[in-house]
Structures are given as structure tokens and as C-alpha cells.
Structure 1
């Protein structure tokens, strides 16, 4: 079942690179903070690299001014996420998270079958806003679309 507004972020371990591969659980990422988590079907893919991630890079300071942390997630390994972040000039603080085995993706109910493209199980394109681990806003894109999960839309829907 797909996660809904009012649900708690499921407890899963994700990976990222910071002086080697690091593991972090979702309670550590989400509790006692305001977070926008956006997910893409794949690092280095066209829409993700040309529009989705660049929007969050461009508007990162606006999220931080509002006390919101920003995390990007994909079903890619942590080395790919690091390389993609470097190639996109991701600012320090915008964490590039690897959901390499699609554990969080499946727990959220947001997986999709991209095997027709040779990509296996991937995450649907989405963005959510959570406070203290509880989902307050959720925007899931229709297949092939990029509208509601943009940085601009997320900024427009943040409280206050």
C-alpha cells in the first residue's frame, strides 16, 4: 500500500558516501526535523538530470532558510549517487541517498517496474514533506510526467 499523508516514514536503512560508505536509518534522518525527500527513477537519466535534481540544487538555499533539510533518493548504489551529485554540483547539505535494494521504495509502496528499460525495480518520481517523520505533503508523479514533485511545487506547499 502506498504511503499516505499522516503516515510515519517506514524504518529502513539507506546508504550515502561521506568518507566512505555510510549507513543511516530513516528515524535518524527524519525525527526531530523538517525534511523534503524527493526521489527519481534513476541517477543520470534525462529528466532527473536536466530538471528534477537541478531544481532542488537551484532552490536549496530557500529550503534551508525555511529550516527544511533536502534529501534526494534513487534506487542506485551510493557510488552512483555520489558521482551524480558531484556532476550536478549538489551543495553540501543536500544529501544524496542510495536505496540500492529498493527497501524504502517498497516500504513506501512507490516502486515501479522499469525492466523494459533494463533498469529493474525503480522508484516512482515523487516528493514528500515530513515533520518529525510524519508525512505532511506527498506528490507522486504519473508515469512519464514531471510536475508535482518539482522543487518549486514543494516550496509552494511548505507550511508558513
Structure 2
């Protein structure tokens, strides 16, 4: 499992933009930036849609005011689903990233098998990344929602 002080693994994350599909190399996307990256088990799921993503939408300006260049949400969903979820949640200030095959999540060591719910998904977490290096990593315990919420991360910036 990735630890604080380690560099994010090489991987590709997808984003559907107004100009079409963009496949981001993680090393390039996070280079020379301070990024808040949070992960959810699934787009359009209850805690993710009712609390996790909305918290970052509401606090985006305050988070960016602390010197954050990019706020990104990642899920083991495709970029089409992530784009639709972002639109539905008014998340225009956030970058909605799809990890369609779960390869980034697996490289991080933060995958979980949800069985019939959706198969391999991401654990719920948030991290602060500076120039590709994880400086803060908050992983939720199962069935909890505190360590990765926007208010918690804002307090750590």
C-alpha cells in the first residue's frame, strides 16, 4: 500500500472533457502541482453522492485558497460515468477522473472487493500530493466517513 513520502505510481486516468476524452499520465497530471485527490467506491452511490463529493464541491474555493492547484476525484468507473456524476453534482471546479480498469487503485494498494455490489472498487480515501509525492494519506476504515471528507482535508492544508 502506498505510504506518505512515496511517489504516486505510473498509471493512466481518463477524463471526459468538452473537447473529448483525455488520458492523463499520473506523473504528468501531478507534476509541479499541489493536489487534493480523493477516491470514492462508486459514482452515484449514497455516501459518495450525498456527502463525499458535495463536501469538496462546497469547499473547493477554500481548498484552492490554501495553495491547491487541483482537486481531483477518482473512482473505479469509466470517464463517461465520472463526467455525468460531476455534472449532476455541479462539480465544475473538480477534475473527475475515471480509473476504468482499477489499475491505478490496484497500484496504490487501495482496492477492495465489494463482491456483488460492483466487484473491485477503491477504498474511500483522500490524499494531499505535492509534485507527485504523497504528503498526507487519510484512508477510511470500513463503513466510516471522517478521515477523507473535505472538512478534514481542508483542516490539514
Bucket of the pairwise TM-score, normalised by the shorter protein:
over 0.9
- 1:41-95 deviation per Cα after TM superposition (whole angstroms, max 9, x unaligned): 0000000000000000000001111221100000001000000000000124x10
The answer for the alignment partner of 1:31 in structure 2 is 31
CA distance in 2, matches of 1:114, 1:43: 14
CA distance in 2, matches of 1:4, 1:116: 29
Local SS of the residue matching 1:38: strand
Consecutive unaligned residues of structure 2, counting only runs of 5 or more, are none
Which TM-score applies when normalising by structure 1?
0.95
CA distance in 2, matches of 1:71, 1:86: 14
Local SS of the residue matching 1:32: coil
- 1:99-151 deviation per Cα after TM superposition (whole angstroms, max 9, x unaligned): 0000110000000001132x010000000001111110000001111110000
> What is the CA-CA distance between 1:21 and the residue it aligns to?
1.3
CA distance in 1, matches of 2:108, 2:82: 20
Which TM-score applies when normalising by structure 2?
0.96
Consecutive unaligned residues of structure 1, counting only runs of 5 or more, are none
RMSD of the alignment, in Å? Answer: 0.8
The reply to whether residue 103 of structure 1 matches residue 99 of structure 2 is no
1:66-145 equivalence runs, <5 A: 66-68=66-68, 69-92=70-93, 94-117=94-117, 119-145=118-144
1:56-75 equivalence runs, <5 A: 56-68=56-68, 69-75=70-76
- Deviant stretches of 4+, over 3 Å: none
CA distance in 1, matches of 2:34, 2:96: 17
- The aligned length equals 155
